[in-house]
DNA sequence: TTTTCATATCATGACATCGTGATATGTTAA
DNA sequence: TTAACATATCACGATGTCATGATATGAAAA
């Protein structure tokens, strides 16, 4: 079917090599589905903000309470709290209450890996 | 200086343990500077879009020309070309011209690693 | 109880990003 | 040449995200 040289696609691009249909069919089978790309892009969006990256960076060194994060980054409490909420909602940080304090930490090693590989990439 | 019990910070948070000043000083020293966070967040922003992730996903399987990407993802050419430009500008894909075609590939293994660790994270 | 402190949530205006139509560029074929 | 094709760029309206001020919650101290 794919080498039928009169069989056309909807659009009119790239008919130069008819092997392309094979390539396209082959790679289409091997990628995740729509909903996984949606979820994954939401996940990576979280890393796309300097404030959140700073928080991730701090927590990759040690667990901290909200006020220490504010202090270390010189950011106001609303900003930090809002970003922590987003980080929490996306399963990137977790926390435990200790009296009136909330001690935050990274959810798992994936987070640290992604952060570090990214940093390596831009520094090379 | 940091244990002076009358020395206050600008805001009035978290004076419960005076050990916190030490913690803050310690972690502050170990994080990248402002410009690196800015650059890194721009880098990760690129992963925060499903269309770009799909392109990255395809190219992690094999190198492809623009029209094959359009075809495999069922996206119009403008969309793909625009996203490829962004991917190129952020050093995530590279390409070589072959006649009128442009064959795209991932810049390096960092990209594939980040993509795959992210996928692993959301699938667990 | 009242106050203070640590943190969370809500609302909002400034700004960024998305997909896409229109159009340009550059290459090959006729 | 001219036509067809593969790809790139521009412009723009719709939508999303950001930091922050105002305010709420809830725990411990007074």
Residue B117: band (very low, low, confident or very high) from pLDDT cuts 50, 70, 90: very high
- pLDDT tens figures, A7-61: 333 334 454 444 477 889 999 999 999 999 999 999 999 999 999 999 999 999 9
Model's pTM, two decimal places? 0.86
Q: How many residue contacts between A and B have a Cβ separation below 8 Å?
A: 178
Give residue B76's pLDDT. 93
Is residue B7 predicted with pLDDT exceeding 70?
A: no
Give residue B11's pLDDT. 39
Q: Which nucleotide is nearest to A20 (CA to C1')?
A: D6
Of B91, B104, B34, which is closest to residue B63 (Cα–Cα)?
B104
Query: Which residue minimizes Cα–C1' distance to C16?
Result: B45
Pairwise CA distance, residues A81 & B81, whole Å? 38
Crossing angle between the packed helical segments B109-123 and B50-61, to the nearest 10 degrees: 120
Pairwise CA distance, residues B28 & A72, whole Å? 6
Residue B3: band (very low, low, confident or very high) from pLDDT cuts 50, 70, 90: very low
Q: What is the largest CA-CA distance in chain A?
A: 73
Query: Which residue minimizes Cα–C1' distance to D25?
Result: A100
Mean pLDDT confidence for B106-110 = 95
Q: Are B113 and B120 in contact (CB under 8 A)?
A: no
CB contact under 8 A, A14 and B65: yes
Between CA B82 and C1' D2 the distance (Å) reads 29
Q: Write down the residue that tokens 């404030």 correspond to.
A: A51
- pLDDT tens figures, B70-90: 999 999 999 999 999 999 999
Neighbours of B22 (CB within 10 A): 12
Give residue A22's pLDDT. 84
**Nucleotides of chain D within 7 Å of a protein C-beta?**
5-11, 17-23, 26-28
């Amino acid at each position: 079917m794919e080498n039928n040289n009169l069989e056309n696609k909807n659009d009119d691009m790239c008919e130069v090599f008819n092997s392309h249909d094979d390539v396209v069919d082959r790679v289409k089978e091997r990628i995740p589905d729509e909903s996984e790309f949606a979820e994954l892009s939401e996940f990576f969006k979280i890393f796309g903000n300097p404030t959140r990256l700073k928080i991730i960076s701090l927590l990759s060194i040690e667990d901290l309470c909200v006020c220490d994060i504010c202090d270390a980054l010189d950011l106001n409490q609303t900003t930090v709290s809002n970003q922590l909420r987003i980080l929490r909602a996306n399963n990137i940080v977790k926390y435990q209450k200790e009296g009136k304090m909330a001690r935050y930490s990274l959810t798992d090693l994936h987070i640290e890996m992604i952060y570090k590989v990214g940093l390596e990439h831009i520094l090379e």
